Amino acid sequence: MRPGDEKDIEVRVRSFTTLPFQVLLSAEEQKGLEIAFRPNKTSGIPGELTKSFLHIKVLPNATALSYTVPLHANILLTPTFNPTNSTSASINSISNFTATVIPPLTIQEHLANFVNDWFNPLTGIVTTLSAIGSGILGWRFGIRQKNKGEET
């Protein structure tokens, strides 16, 4: 990613329990990056996948380097029936995510991208038109040869 880029990455939490649960997701702040989960709190279905998205925005002043971002998941298991103690069991998990920031594009790279974006489609069109033109010329040449053969 480059300064100014944004990206959403799907995050999946799979449950291997038969209890309903809630997941609270968060990320540690990193200078040069804006990081947020959308949504950051979701309910899980037992035995199924629960999804969220990690939204990353590289700020314009971000330094080009690899950032290791600790991601926190606080999973709350909700008891189905517990008359004496209604508190939920809590599981905390930390995973590291690496985001690599590369330097902004140079003027030459911007120009090369512009040329490629504009002329690559034109190259395809020119190639297609050339193929059509060759086919028409070949067809016309074939007709002319056939007519010349009939005259003799």
Question: Quick one: 89 and 31 in the same domain?
Answer: yes
- Output the CA angle 106-107-108, nearest 5 degrees: 90
pLDDT digits (tens, 9 = 90+) for 73-93: 888 876 655 556 566 678 888
Quick one: average pLDDT of 123-135?
49
Question: Average pLDDT, whole number, for the chain?
Answer: 76
Name the band, by pLDDT with cuts 50, 70 and 90, for residue 139.
very low
Question: Quick one: 96 and 142 in the same domain?
Answer: no
Question: Quick one: 23 and 90 in the same domain?
Answer: yes
DSSP, collapsed to helix, strand or coil, labels residue 120 as helix
Q: Is the pLDDT of residue 128 over 80?
A: no
Q: Flag whether 1 is in a domain.
A: no
| 13 beta partners | 50
DSSP, collapsed to helix, strand or coil, labels residue 148 as helix
CA separation, residue 70 to residues 13, 94, 99 (Å): 16, 6, 11
Q: Is the pLDDT of residue 134 over 90?
A: no
Supply the pLDDT for residue 137: 46
* Eight-class DSSP state of 31: T
pLDDT digits (tens, 9 = 90+) for 32-74: 999 999 999 988 777 778 889 999 999 998 999 999 999 998 8
Which of 72, 100, 128 is at the close of a domain?
Answer: 100
Supply the pLDDT for residue 86: 60
Handedness of CA 39, 40, 46, 49 (dihedral sign): positive
Are the beta carbons of 32 and 66 closer than 8 angstroms? no
Higher per-residue pLDDT: 19 or 53: 53
Residues 6+ apart with CB under 8 A from 46: 15, 17, 18, 19, 20, 21
Supply the pLDDT for residue 56: 94
Domain range spanning residue 50? 6-100
